Chain A
Amino acid sequence: MNLEEYKGVFVFAQQVDNCVNSIAFELIGKGKDLAADLGTEVTAVLVGSGVKGLADELAEYGADRVIVVDDPELKEYRTEPYAHALASVIEKYKPEIFLVGATAIGRDLGPRVSARIHTGLTADCTQLDIGDFPLNPMPGKEQKHNQLLMTRPAFGGNTIATIACPDFRPQMATVRPGVMQKKDRQAGAKANVEEFNPGFTPNNNYVEILEVVKAVSETVDIMDAKILVSGGRGMGGAENFKILDDLAEVLGGTVSCSRAVVDAGWKPKDLQVGQTGKTVRPNVYFAVGISGAIQHLAGMEESDIIIAINKDETAPIFDVADYGIVGDLNKIVPALTEKLRAEMANKN
């Protein structure tokens, strides 16, 4: 493999139902920083059916070029045709870096593609940098420059590792949603748009979609919320989330929850914060009746202000909380809502 042939930062611009997912803009944003360090460009790879019109949006968030792979076989996500699309793009365009969102799609697609083209893949990264590998010179080992250094938590957030892929290209990573920053949208920005179709011939690896069942959800995406009021097992039951709904309403926030709450069936999975749920970084995160398992902390500890209310003073949530209140949530939360309502009324 001639590593020098591989140039440019590519990102998978995930879309579902012809809507670009936020992760695509986050990857372009991070890709721009990496590309600046390398003196190269960012290419977004848009895969789907009838998706060419989405290219402008990718340009407005910073993509220099958009490669569109458009085919009826790509209407709904399926592993095989999507893997064929990305592997073919990589074979033809030879990027040095390829980023994919660590979503329920990306974490299936990334490994299948990396296995097909024989390169390394680092999962669920939370930090990406350009640097040297090894980090410090080592006798008897060549130190390579301009490598992608991929940092990720492991062991449920107990440890953190930085990984490189020095001898294979592209250097591939899946990136955790909600961690990288989008660039400001530049209305009217244009990218160089190229269409590419490697041909899609169904074979045994194409699975058949019998049904698409969408979860009915009227709630806002918790990853976009500025204020999250999050409840845990300590809420005691589904009906008691009413007091969190009230608090969230007064503050213009959104209710989220811990894994225990989803497991108990009190709240749907799309409200779950944590390692196996979503990563959030709101301005204010209320952790109410959440003990703070390490997997939960991994999903919310980057929040600007963390306020924890818990009756157990030894709960690990207090180790990350800016303001921890040891007390009875059933008394504090309704009283807090009332007081805030009065404050807001005074202000207006």
Chain B
Amino acid sequence: MKVVVCIKQVPDTKGGVKFNPDGTLDRAAMMTIMNPDDKAGLEAALRLKDQYGAEVTVLTMGLPKAEDVLREAMAMGADKGVLVTDRVLGGADTWATSQTLAGALRNMEYDLIITGRQAIDGDTAQVGPQISEHLNIPVISYAQNLRIEGDSVIVERQYDDRYHVLKAKMPCLITALAELNEPRYMTPGGIFDAYKAELTVWGRADLKDVEDSNLGLKGSPTQIAKASDKVRKGAGEKVALDPAEAVDYIVDKLKVKHVI
């Protein structure tokens, strides 16, 4: 069984956000981590490796420095890493990103593709389902649990007030929720091996059955009109009072505002 996990190197949002003059992200200027939902997806794949001997390949698209996130995944136990990097792929929206990753996946073998539900930078949750459409395979989003049964995968798919237990024939794409599991740590031996492991690096020419007109900034149907720091409403009053005074204070405010 072969599993490909799509992972993304994302800016650690705690470290602040920086933009290029054209409104796109200045990824080079920010601290990075492996996207949390992707890490849960990777852990799910590694459990399939533990259980069924699945071969786990991690795939990412990004700047050359995104190789760090592949090595981290390999230090956790992934077998192979593929980095797709090319200047012509930069500035991609979710359409162009999913086209790129689908183009790479057409050159790979897989029974199962796992992506995180969404990345903490874009928060779109779109790339996984879009890849599945380009590859014409079923998608199960928001997976909170999964297991293999013969040539099928059985997934608990989360909704707001319920979950569905779904069965799909592989190949299939699954998007993982962080709730899926608790990702393991890298092992010292794993780190040592990962840093001397050979990574596969692909460029535009290695993508299969993708038109240039669907790649990068030029191939992105959505365009940024404006990007800015969010303006928050300012702080109101802040008081430190003993409990009895605090109660009077709140009741007074609720009266003034006609809540009571």
Contacts and interface: CB of A to CB of B under 8 A. Distances in A.
A325 B13 contact: no
A156 interface: yes
A108 B221 contact: no
A116 interface: yes
Given A112-B132, A335-B243, A321 B238 contact: yes
Interface of A: 16, 76-80, 83, 103-105, 107-108, 110-112, 114-116, 118-124, 133-135, 149, 153-168, 204-215, 217, 227, 251, 270, 275, 283-284, 294, 297, 301, 305-307, 309, 313, 318-328, 331-332, 335-336, 339-340, 343-344, 347
24 contacts: A79-B139, A79-B140, A80-B138, A104-B160, A105-B159, A110-B126, A120-B93, A120-B222, A123-B94, A153-B230, A154-B122, A155-B11, A158-B17, A166-B223, A206-B138, A212-B162, A213-B162, A214-B162, A215-B161, A275-B123, A284-B257, A307-B250, A320-B232, A343-B251
A50 to B, nearest CB: 19
A123 B249 contact: no
Given A120-B220, A324-B237, 8 more contacts: A76-B164, A155-B11, A205-B136, A211-B164, A215-B162, A325-B240, A325-B250, A335-B243
A122 B132 CA distance: 18
Contacts of A323: 236-237, 239, 249-250, 253
Contacts of A210: 154, 165-167
B29 interface: no
Contacts of B123: 123-124, 153-156, 275
B132 to A, nearest CB: 7
A104 to B, nearest CB: 5
Output the residue of A118, A324, A325 with the most chain B CB within 10 A: A325
B193 interface: no
Contacts of A297: 232
Q: Chain B binding site: helix, strand, loop or mixed by DSSP?
A: mixed
B124 A313 contact: no
Nearest to A337: B247
Interface of B: 11, 13, 16-17, 23, 93-95, 98, 120-130, 132-134, 136-142, 154, 158-169, 220-230, 232-244, 246-251, 253-254, 257, 259-260
A340 B222 contact: no
A320 B234 CA distance: 6
Q: Chain A binding site: helix, strand, loop or mixed by DSSP?
A: mixed
A79 B164 CA distance: 12
A149 B254 CA distance: 38
A298 B160 CA distance: 18
A263 B248 CA distance: 34
Contacts of A112: 129-130, 132-133, 139
A44 to B, nearest CB: 20
A139 B142 CA distance: 44
A272 to B, nearest CB: 10
Contacts of B94: 111, 121, 123
A210 B155 CA distance: 10
Contacts of B241: 325-327
Contacts of B93: 120
Contacts, number: 255
Contacts of A157: 230
A208 B115 CA distance: 21
B46 to A, nearest CB: 22
B92 to A, nearest CB: 12
B238 A115 contact: no
A321 B142 CA distance: 33
A313 to B, nearest CB: 7
A212 B232 CA distance: 41
A124 B93 CA distance: 15
B178 to A, nearest CB: 9
B237 A322 contact: yes
A129 B28 CA distance: 32
Nearest to A152: B123
Nearest to A211: B165
Contacts of B243: 327-328, 331-332, 335
Contacts of A321: 235-236, 238
A104 B144 CA distance: 13
B129 A115 contact: yes
A107 B138 contact: no
Output the residue of A119, A135, A332 with the most chain B CB within 10 A: A332
B227 to A, nearest CB: 4
A83 to B, nearest CB: 8
B225 A163 contact: yes
Nearest to B175: A108
Contacts of B257: 284, 305
A158 B230 contact: yes
A79 B129 contact: yes
A23 B51 CA distance: 42
A201 to B, nearest CB: 15
A155 B121 contact: yes
Output the residue of B93, B126, B158, B223 with the most chain A CB within 10 A: B126
A276 to B, nearest CB: 9
B221 A213 contact: no
Contact of A115 (B17, B95, B164): B95
